[in-house]
Amino acid sequence: MKKIISLLLFICFHFAVLSADFEIVHLDIQAKLEENANLKVREELTYRVGEINGVLFDLDAKGNGPLRALSVYATDEEGNFQQIPQNHLDIREEDELYHIKVYAKTENRLRKFAFVYELEGGAKLYQDIAELNRVFVGKNWQVPIEKVRITISLPTSVPSDSIHAYGHGPLTGNIKLEANTVSYELDNYYPGDFIEAHILFGPQGLSQVPTSLRVPEDAKERLLAEEKAWAEEANAQREKFQKLEKQGYFAFAIEAFLLAVYFIFVRFVLRKAKKISQELPEYLRELPTDDSPAIVGNLFQTEDSVKIFATIMDLVRKKYFQLEVQGKEQILRKISPEKNELSLTLYEQEIVEIYLHQLGDGIRVNLSQIAKQKFSKSLSQRILGWNSLVKREYFAKGYGSSKSPLIILGVLCCFLFLLMSIASFVFFQQIQFLFLIPILFAFLFPYTLNSKFPNPKTAESIEKWKAFKRFLEDYSLLREAKITSIYLWEHYFVYALVLGVADKVAKAYQFALEKGDISFPAGGNSFYYAPCLHSYIKQPSLQQQIQKTYQRSYQSIARSTSSSGMGRGGGFSGGSSGGGGSRGGGGAF
């Protein structure tokens, strides 16, 4: 548990601590025990440096001292080790703990430091056994170390079959014994851990040991029994952790499954519309309601650019606009300047204002050119805000959403999942449980709070329009219906745009036209009476021009300078602060 907490604390505060602009990649310790019990050690550290002024190293000689020699080395720009001069070292000793400060400014590179020293009390000699016992890696490192390796060479006079090597520290460490060499390896050391080597070997290996390091007692049985007890405890702990690991994976799978079930609950219970009161046929052959294409588009959450295009086509159908094709250019023209626009809805009037007066000259607009224009921020905001006018009428008609009272239960479930994740992390000591917390707060919790379903009127209209959509999608039904009125084809088509079946209706219209099933008023032609369908069929890029206009509006807003809340410069903000001078202007004569 402390490893995980140490890792989390390191991640959280690593960038906040200026002195921690480094990582330790590797710690390689080479130790050689002499027959006089002197222990010669070389500790080589590989740093990955952003920027440091030097390194710190604490050498604890207590229990193995005294310290007889110490020298420090560092690699130069070519990677060669050079000894650090004494005037670049600051060494303080306190109860045989040597605090070493090495002044070696380093920036943006890998650099190695080596600490070479000798301890006079590296091992003890009992009457029946020799013992080397030292903590080679202490608890007080500032940062994690990616890989640690310790290699200890015993005197050649030690029989290899007399060596018993033990290690204490994280249970993920490994020990290897080869001839008279013992190796300890650990991946991912964390501050607070330690690595202790405990090696028992034949007494003949310390033939020159001084009297001060001789212990006049037999200790072999006692030391082996202690290590056996430690090993049994460690193995029991390993077995416990292995069981916990399996149980943790199982618990994680259960919690992930419960989250999936909860998502289904939100999707199909909290957000599910209530059944409508009346039975509807599978197909409706007539327009279900008198709503405009824009309103129907809001029922089905159609893209705003498609609703704008459908509204323009509807105004063409109602003879407010006229579509003309001049070569490769598409012209949208107001049919009669005197035609009253007051009968139009607010969002239809806004379309007239945007396309004729803002993008055009008041009478006509070249749709092929507007996608290339650079829009002002105010115009972009009008285009992007157009659907708010549609929503105003949408809500005025009684359409909208309702929230289930079960949403409170959903919120409680989210907090329950949060507590489960934290408790599972603490109990199983597995970090994957923490990954569920961002999912909860970034997705499921907002998804729960925003859980809505269509109110009864909205749900009924949606089902009716779905039945009408199924009718439009079915070629055989359209042919069977024998729609002879060109006006009806046009009317159906503008709704097919927002329902996503415009291509199918256009193909069915072409088929009926070729079969001669459609009648026209005397002296008329198909383009005059069906400008929407013919423009869509002959000029498929027309809808793309409208979509590009909408995209350019997004780009214009996104690239505008940010507004300053402190009044220190930046882009404009929306609205007005009520200042005078709004009628000022200028020009030429």
pLDDT tens profile 29-45: 999 999 999 999 999 99
577 within domain boundaries: no
pLDDT in tens, 174-188: 999 999 999 999 999
pLDDT(496) > 50: yes
Same domain, 93 and 155: yes
Residue 201: strand, helix, or coil:
strand
| pLDDT > 90: percent of the chain | 46
162 located within any domain: yes
Task: Indicate whether 580 pLDDT > 80.
Answer: no
**Assigned domain for 587 exists:** no
| Alpha carbon distance 499, 296 (integer Å) | 8
Q: Which helix (H) or strand (E) holds 421?
A: helix 407-428
Gyration radius of the chain's alpha carbons: 41
pLDDT at position 50 over 90:
yes
Residue 323: closest CA among 513, 492, 489, 490: 490
Does residue 213 sit in the same domain as residue 143?
yes
DSSP 242: H
Measured between alpha carbons, how far is 270 from 450 in angstroms, rounded to an integer? 10
**Per-residue confidence band for 338, with pLDDT thresholds at 50, 70 and 90:** low
Residue bearing the bigger pLDDT, 271 or 323: 323
Same domain, 342 and 485: yes
- pLDDT tens for each residue of 463-488: 999 999 998 888 666 666 677 788 88
| Residue 199 to residue 164: CA distance in whole angstroms | 6
Chain centre to alpha carbon of residue 125: 59
> Which pLDDT belongs to residue 584?
31
pLDDT in tens, 502-517: 999 888 888 888 877 7
Structural domain containing residue 444? 260-275+404-449
Euclidean distance between CA atoms 489 and 547, whole angstroms:
24
> Do 320 and 465 lie in a common domain?
yes
Q: What is the pLDDT of residue 561?
A: 47
Domain count within the chain: 3
Residue type, 332: L
- Please tell me whether residue 433 adopts helix, strand or coil conformation: helix
Answer yes or no: is 579 within a domain: no
CA 239/CA 234 separation, integer angstroms: 9
Burial call 230-259: b when 16+ CB within 10 Å, e when fewer:
eeeeeeeeeeeeeeeeeebeebbeebeeeb
- Among the listed residues 220, 228, 224, the one whose alpha carbon sits nearest the alpha carbon of residue 126: 220
Q: Do 445 and 542 sit in the same domain of this protein? A: no
Q: In this predicted structure, what is the pLDDT of residue 515?
A: 79
User: Pick the residue with more confidence: 368 or 558?
Assistant: 368
pLDDT in tens, 421-449: 888 888 877 788 888 888 877 777 887 77
The domain boundary residue, chosen from 218, 251, 285: 218
In a domain, 249, yes or no: no
The structure's pTM equals 0.52
Work out the mean pLDDT of the chain and round it to a whole number: 83
The conformation of residue 444, written as its DSSP 8-state character, comes to I
> Between 231 and 204, whose confidence is greater?
204
Based on the domain organization, do 207 and 355 belong to the same domain?
Answer: no
Specify the pairing of strand 67-75 against strand 39-60. Answer: unpaired
* Confidence class for position 556, pLDDT limits 50, 70, 90: low
- Is the pLDDT score of 589 beyond 80? no
3-state secondary structure of 95: coil
Same structural domain for residues 36 and 130? yes
290: phi then psi, degrees, rounded to nearest 5: -95, 20
